[in-house]
Structure 1
Amino acid sequence: MSTPTADLAAAGVSIWLDDLSRTRINSGNIAELIATRNVTGVTTNPTIFANAITNANDTSYDAQVTELAASGATAEEAVFAATTQDVAAALDVFRPVWEASNHVDGRVSIEVSPDLAHDTEGTVASAKQLWAKIDRPNLLVKIPATKAGLPAIAEAIGAGISVNVTLIFSLERYEEVIDAYLTGLETAKAAGIDLSGIHSVASFFVSRVDTETDKRLTAIGTDAANALKSKAGLANARLAYELFEKKFADARAQELLAAGANLQRPLWASTGVKDPELPDTLYVTELVAAGVVNTMPEKTLEATFDHGVVTGDTITGGYAEAHEVFAGLAEVGIDFADVTQVLEDEGVAKFIDSWHDLLATVEEGLKAQR
C-alpha cells in the first residue's frame, strides 16, 4: 500500500519516532508503528524520558521504582536503570529492522547526562558506561555537538561506539562534527576495530532555527526581512546536506569508506512545525534526499502519514536558492553565527533543566517508597 511514509522510505528517507516510553513498548505501539508507519528507529532525550516517567497516568514504572527504593538507589541510579531498561527493550523490538536494513536502521538513541555537555572526559566515560550496560549493536549514544563534545565524539567512535551527535545548528559546527567522526574512524582503524560495525548520525535541528531567526526578522520589520521568514531552517538543512556530500566525497572519507566505514547520515531533528501558519509537514516533505533520517514527534508523523505529499528529492536542487537565502539574511542584518550559538546554549540548558526535573521527580518517588 502506497502511503506518504512509504513514499518517504522509497525516496531513501529513514523515519524515526522522536518519543519513547515503557507503555509504548509494552503495549505493542512501537511494533505497530514499524508495521503501519514505516518507522525504523527511535530517538530520545531527557525531556522525553521526563515526560514518560513523570506521567501520572503511566504506572509502568511504579514497580521498578519500588524495587529501586528498597535497594537504596539514588535518583541518578534509578534514572539510569529505568532509561537503559527502556532503550534495551526498544532495541530488541527494532532488532528485525536492524537485520533487514543491513544494520543501518533499527536504531534507538540514549543521551549522556546533559550535565556533561561541557565535560569531555565525563562524556566519554558516560558513553562507555551506557554502551556496556545496554549492550546492543543497534544502540546509538547521543553526544551533544558542543566544543567539549567534539573530542568526546571522536574518542567514542574510536572506541567502537556508535554515536548520534545531537544539537547541531550551524554549518561550521557540522563540519567539525564530520571531522570528529572521521578522526574517530581513523583511531578505530588503527586499533584494528571493524569499521563496518560503527554507525553515526548527525542531528541537525531545523524548526528551532526558523523560530529564532523569524523573531529577529520580525524585529527588523522591513519588507526584505519579512520576505525571508520561515526560510532559514530549510536553507540551513539543505546546505548541511550539500556539505555532507562534499565532505564524504573527499579523499580522507573515501579511504575510510573503502575500508568498510559507514557514512555518517544527516538526521533532521526538531521537525515539528511550531508556526501554525506553516504546513504541518513542511520540515518532512521539503527535506527529502537519499540517506537522510527524519526523526518526528508523533503528531508530525501522523500528519505526514495522513496528508504529506512526497515529490522525491527536495534538497539537492535547492542549493543555489539556499545560498541566496543566507545572502539575504546577511543583507538585512541577521548575525546567523549568533543565532546558532544562542540555539546551542538554549538547547543544552533545556536538556539540563529537564534532566534535573526528572531527577527531582524520581527522588520524590523513591522517598515515598522508603
Structure 2
Amino acid sequence: MTNTASTTTPTAELSAVGVSIWLDDLSRERINSGGIPKLIAEKNVVGITTNPTIFASALSKGESYDEQVRELAAAGADVTTAVFEITTSDVAQACDIFSDVYEATNGYDGRVSIEVEPGLANDTEGTIAEAKRLWKKVDKLNAMIKIPATKAGLPAITEVIGSGISVNVTLIFGLPRYKEVIDAYLTGLEQAAAKGIDLSTIHSVASFFVSRVDTEIDKRLDAVGTPEALAHKSKSGVANAQLAYELFLAEMATERALALQEQGANRQRPLWASTGVKSPDLPDTMYVVELATHGVVNTMPEKTLDATFDHGVIKGDVVAASYAGAHEIIDALPGFGIDYDDVTETLEAEGVDKFNVSWGELLDTVTAALEGAKK
C-alpha cells in the first residue's frame, strides 16, 4: 500500500518490503519550492511529520514566512495566535500536496502530522482541547495530531481517537508504555464505535524513538567501561524497536483488537522515529535497514533519506527473525547495572523538555518577526 514510483532504488526496495517512508521535516520554503512532489516521485516519500524543533528551524531561516507574518502583525495577532496560524497553514498546504497519495492508499499514507503544544504534555484536558482545535483548523482528513505518550497523554489519546480524529502518538521509548499506548488506542476505537463513528476513517501511528535509546544507554555503558559493556554499545535502540514490533503483532492479534478490525478499524502502525544516527561511527542507514519490516513507518530526516536513497542496502524484512537476539540484548542491560525503566523515563522527560525549549525558540522567533513587521 506504499508508493513504489521506481523499482530500482533502495527507497523503492524499502517500500516494497512494506515500509512507508515519511520525511521528518516541513517548511514553507519546502512547500513553495515544489520539492515535495519530487520526493514523492523519486524517493518514495508518502508522508511528512513535524515537531516544534522543525518549525523553530524553519521559521528562523529565509523569507518564506514574511508575508504571512506582516499580515498577522497588521491584524494585531499575538505570538501564540501567530504560531498557530503559521504552523497550521503549513500543515494544511502539505496535506493538499499529499492528497493524491492519501487517495491512492485509501488513507493508509499521505499523512501530515502536527504536534500539540509541548507545554501541555502533562495536561490531559489541555491536550484534548488543543488536539481538537488543531484538527478543526487544519481541516484535512489526511492530517494527524501528534500527542505525546506521557501518563497525561494516554487518556487524551483515547478521547481524541474516540472523537474520530487520527493520532500520531509520539515520544514512546519503553515497551511497557507502548503497551499502554496500544490500550489507549483500542479504548478510543471502542468509544468511537459506541458513537457510531466509522472506524475505518480513524488512523493512528505509534512513534517509537530509536537513536535516543542508543545515545542514553551507550552513555551508561561507557561509564561501566568494561570490554563486555563497550561491546554492547549501539545495539539497544534497534533491539528495543524490534521488540516493539513483536509487541505490536501480539497486541493487534488479540480478540479485542480483532473484533475492532472486523468493524473496519485499522491497526495502529509502529513508526520508527529518531532514525538519524547520532554517532559518526555508525552506518548512516542503520536505523532504516535494521528496522525494515511490513506495515511500519520510518520517518527520516532528509539526510537519512538521502543516504538511504544513495547507498542503502535493503536486506528485506530483518525484524521477523530478530526477536530472540533482541531479547538477549535488552535482558543483558541489568547485568551492566543499567535500569531499562530508568532509561526510558529519563528519555521521556528529556524529550518533553527538548520540545519545550524548541517551542520557546519558536515563540521568540515569531515574536521578533512580528515586532520587525510593525516597523
Give the TM-score band, short-chain normalised. Answer: over 0.9
SS at the partner of 2:332? Answer: helix
- Please give the alpha-carbon distance, in whole angstroms, between the structure 2 residues aligned to 1:147 and 1:292: 24
* CA positional deviation for 1:20: 0.3
2:176 to 149, 172, 178: 172
Note if 1:359 corresponds to 2:363.
yes
How many residues of Structure 1 are paired with residues of Structure 2 in the alignment?
368
Matched to 2:119, the amino acid is D
Q: How does 1:41-190 map to 2 (within 5 A)?
A: 41-55=47-61, 58-190=62-194
Partner of 1:28: 34
1:308 to 287, 309, 312: 312
Note if 1:265 corresponds to 2:269.
yes
Q: Which ranges of structure 1 fall in alignment gaps of 5 or more residues?
A: none
1:140-190 Cα shifts (integer Å, max 9, x gaps): 000000000000000000000000000000000000000000000000000
Partner of 1:335: 339
1:209-267 Cα shifts (integer Å, max 9, x gaps): 00000000000011221111001000000000000000000000000000000000000
Note if 1:280 corresponds to 2:284.
yes
Partner of 2:3: none
- Please give the alpha-carbon distance, in whole angstroms, between the structure 1 residues aligned to 2:220 and 2:373: 49
Note if 1:321 corresponds to 2:325.
yes
* CA positional deviation for 1:328: 1.2
**TM-score with structure 2 setting the length:** 0.97
* CA positional deviation for 1:369: 2.2
TM superposition outliers: structure 1 runs of 4+ over 2 Å: none
* CA positional deviation for 1:332: 1.4
Matched to 1:90, the amino acid is A
- Please give the alpha-carbon distance, in whole angstroms, between the structure 2 residues aligned to 1:218 and 1:367: 47
Partner of 1:15: 21
SS at the partner of 2:168? Answer: strand
- Please give the alpha-carbon distance, in whole angstroms, between the structure 2 residues aligned to 1:64 and 1:326: 49
**TM-score with structure 1 setting the length:** 0.99
Matched to 1:194, the amino acid is D
Matched to 1:170, the amino acid is G
1:250 to 230, 254, 265: 254
1:341-366 Cα shifts (integer Å, max 9, x gaps): 11100000000010011111111111
- Please give the alpha-carbon distance, in whole angstroms, between the structure 2 residues aligned to 1:6 and 1:200: 23
Partner of 2:222: 218
Partner of 2:201: 197
